[in-house]
């Protein structure tokens, strides 16, 4: 596999994404809004709850943990728009056939497409996380008596974010190579959210405890899913079928 060829595909997709305003908005606006909105929710709703002062720090820490995992959910959302476009979008715009006719291997093509969706999505999420941690500490430090971030649990979140992002990219690229419409690919790609959303709700209602051990277990499960999807993508991707059977 020639990584330079894959990077050429990535840079080509970058140039396409820059021309699409909705892609820029999804990368910039969504993480920025969430990074500000979550601390505002803590300030307006959580810190003003009518609870005994002694119980408030524990409640705040529970919400901080659940809100931290929300970034994992967001990491599965942001790449969908980019990755869903990767195959079917070029097919619709009549630019995919020349690309598939090149001597690039399937692995080089898929790697280039994956990096084009993965890298900007991951960067935007990490920037949003940094803003969120700063604002959340500012809002809650006076209540719990110390800055909640950074901590080891957040380190696990920062490890889980790229795994969730990569899982979303892989699923979306598989779907993008199987459907003929960008919107259909995006809608099906949102199925990736279901397991992460379920974990988030479980953390909110304290069904799952927010701790390093549980987060490490979730990381291991998502890693296994990523490896499985990688081999599934390699084995099911067929450029000949895309070139000859898509209408």
DSSP letters along 33-50, please? HHHHHHHHHIIIIITTS-
Number of domains into which the chain is organized: 1
Q: How confident is the model over 41-94, as pLDDT tens digits?
A: 888 876 666 667 777 788 888 888 889 999 999 999 999 888 877 777 667 666
- pTM, two decimal places: 0.88
- How far apart (Å, rounded) are the C-alpha atoms in residues 138 and 18? 34
Question: What are the tokens at 194?
Answer: 């279901």
Separation of alpha carbons 96 and 100, rounded Å: 6
Neighbours of 241 (CB within 10 A): 12
Boundaries of domain holding 153: 3-245
The whole-angstrom separation of Cα 135 and Cα 125 is 15
- Report pLDDT digits (tens) over 84-140: 777 776 676 666 666 666 777 777 888 888 898 899 999 999 999 999 999 999 988
């Amino acid at each position: 596999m020639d990584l330079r060829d894959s990077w050429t595909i990535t840079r080509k997709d970058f140039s396409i994404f820059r021309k699409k305003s909705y892609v820029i908005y999804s990368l910039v606006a969504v993480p920025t809004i969430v990074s500000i909105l979550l601390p505002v929710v803590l300030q307006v709703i959580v810190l003003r709850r009518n609870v005994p002062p002694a119980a408030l720090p524990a409640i705040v820490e529970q919400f901080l943990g659940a809100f931290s995992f929300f970034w994992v959910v967001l990491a599965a959302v942001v790449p969908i728009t980019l990755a869903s476009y990767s195959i079917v979008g070029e097919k619709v715009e009549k630019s995919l056939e020349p690309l598939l006719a090149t001597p690039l291997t399937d692995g080089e093509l898929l790697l280039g497409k994956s990096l084009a969706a993965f890298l900007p999505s991951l960067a935007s999420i990490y920037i949003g996380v940094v803003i969120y941690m700063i604002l959340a500490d500012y809002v809650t430090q006076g209540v719990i008596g110390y800055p909640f971030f950074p901590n080891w649990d957040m380190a696990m979140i920062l490890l889980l974010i790229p795994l969730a992002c990569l899982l979303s990219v892989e699923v979306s690229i598989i779907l993008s190579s199987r459907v003929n419409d960008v919107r259909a690919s995006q809608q099906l790609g949102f199925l990736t959210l279901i397991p992460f959303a379920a974990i988030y709700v479980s953390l909110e209602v304290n069904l799952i405890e927010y701790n390093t051990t549980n987060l490490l277990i979730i990381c291991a499960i998502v890693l296994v899913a990523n490896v499985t999807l990688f081999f599934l993508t390699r084995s099911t991707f067929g450029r000949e079928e895309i070139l000859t059977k898509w209408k």
